[in-house]
Amino acid sequence: MTQLIQNRYRLDQRIGAGGMAEVYAGFDRQLDRPVAIKILHTQLQTDAHAVEQFQHEARRAASFSHQHIAQVYDVGHDPQRGPFYVQELIGGHNLDELLPVAAPQALLWLEQIAAAVAAIHAQGLVHCDIKPQNIRITADNSAVLLDFGIAQPAGTASGGAIYGTPHYLAPERAQGAAISTSADVYALGILLYVMLTGAVPIDGATPAEILRGHMQQGVPALRAQLPGQAQAIEALIARATERDPAQRISSVHALIESIQAITTAAQQHTQVIATLPKHATISFHNQTTQQVKPAQPAAPARPDNKAAAIPPLPPPPAATVIEAQHAAAAAPPSIPAAAPQLPAASSQLRKRRWLPQLAVALMALIVLGLMLIKLLPSAASSAVVSPTPTTVNTALQTPALLGLNIADAQQLAASQGLQVTVVDEVASSAPAGQIIAQDPQPQAPIDQDIPISVHVSLGPGAAQPAPDGESSPGAAQPAPDGGKGRDKGSDKGKGNDKGNGKGKDK
């Protein structure tokens, strides 16, 4: 029997549930479009506080109109099912199902979610529960923020209770301070760390242990999980997750500016790659590294002008010598000619006798230096010729390519001297051309001569041939009712209530 809400919304299937509500994929018969319907749990409908909180969540969500916030269509009360609200049915995947992702993809999604959070802050609210489970990635690679179940006005006192997810909770909130927009900045910093590593930076056996880690230890450096990661990204996470809110990035808008600066720098460095010699390397992620330029040809070796300067030789004292010879020839034969008394001329002749020896010694030194340079080519090339970066990674790691399209993945791999090989194309709910698997895995050691094998999505709904003409078991099926809306044909909802009305029972 078909179930209807207010004789308009058809309930198709239950797709998720949380502490306060359950979520159904449904269909708006009046507007002819798929929707997600969130209904308050039956056992909570007699709790006035729970009903009020649920209605506040719906009204808050409905007040936003932003491309990266799930749009609420309707709010109401059904006589049989109780309080409910209707919002767009978003296809794709929850962000936590896609982790980890490469830095370019992580920065793109972070910027989109930060823009959504900025819209929330503009209305004087703090989201209070930013995490991958509350973010949906659509088929067109857009990030959408969900779940306003515990959003609160900025300045709200804790009242002795702390609501949120411990892994993303700012230290001041753990200490009971009033809610501020800076807490969302902190959570966004944690979110970037998790997107890159696939793991939370601070964990523990109990919520209290996790909160103590945020208050006492702080977020560890990104390099502990991802050695060689960009200094600019590591610095961004560090500034966003400062334990002292006064030292933290001041606002979400400032965070967005920092993300855009890193992205712009990365794009500029990527463009430099085409102009570099084949042996030059540059990391797409290393946004703080200055542009690498090809080295100029080495100047020919020459003696140090200060240490081995040779003054010009004085002209020979020819007139003085000739005069001495004439004096000796003019002496009477019977009287031995006395030795010519030419102290000045004799001194200069003695100096001139040393000059050939000095020149030979210098030439020997020059020849010896040239021989040493030839014997040590690596030292000479690193000092003069090679344009390679000053920091050399002795162990090359496989970049994270999951979630990238094949063109971006090839560009990222080429920036590290690696190659990408497509080994398979399969039907998938991911957008066409997006990488859904790779080998070796991200961060695994890899040799430059070994290509990275990737599996690429043919896109949702793509037919994949199977033997004997049968349809492939992995081929995506058409969405019910034509699949309208932002989900581009997906029949999935917001999933496990991860973005649909988590309440204060977290």
Q: Which residues are catalytic?
A: 129
Distance of alpha carbon 376 from alpha carbon 371, whole angstroms: 9
Backbone CA torsion sign across 65, 69, 72, 73 = positive
The torsion of the CA quartet 155, 160, 165, 168, rounded to 10 degrees, works out to: 50
Edge to edge, the sheet with strand 33-40 lists 3-5, 9-17, 21-28, 33-40, 82-88, 72-78
Whether residue 193 contacts residue 110, with contact meaning beta carbons closer than 8 Å, is answered with no
Identify any residues that bridge with 125 across adjacent strands, giving them in sequence order: 153
Distance of alpha carbon 200 from alpha carbon 318, whole angstroms: 90
445: cis peptide before it, omega within 30°?
no
DSSP string for residues in 264-310: HHHHHHHHHGGGS-TT----SS-TTSPPP-PPPPPPPP---TTTS--
The rounded Cα 15 to chain-centroid distance in angstroms is 32
Distance of alpha carbon 406 from alpha carbon 435, whole angstroms: 6
Tokens describing residue 242: 């400062």
The rounded Cα 452 to chain-centroid distance in angstroms is 19
Distance of alpha carbon 453 from alpha carbon 438, whole angstroms: 6
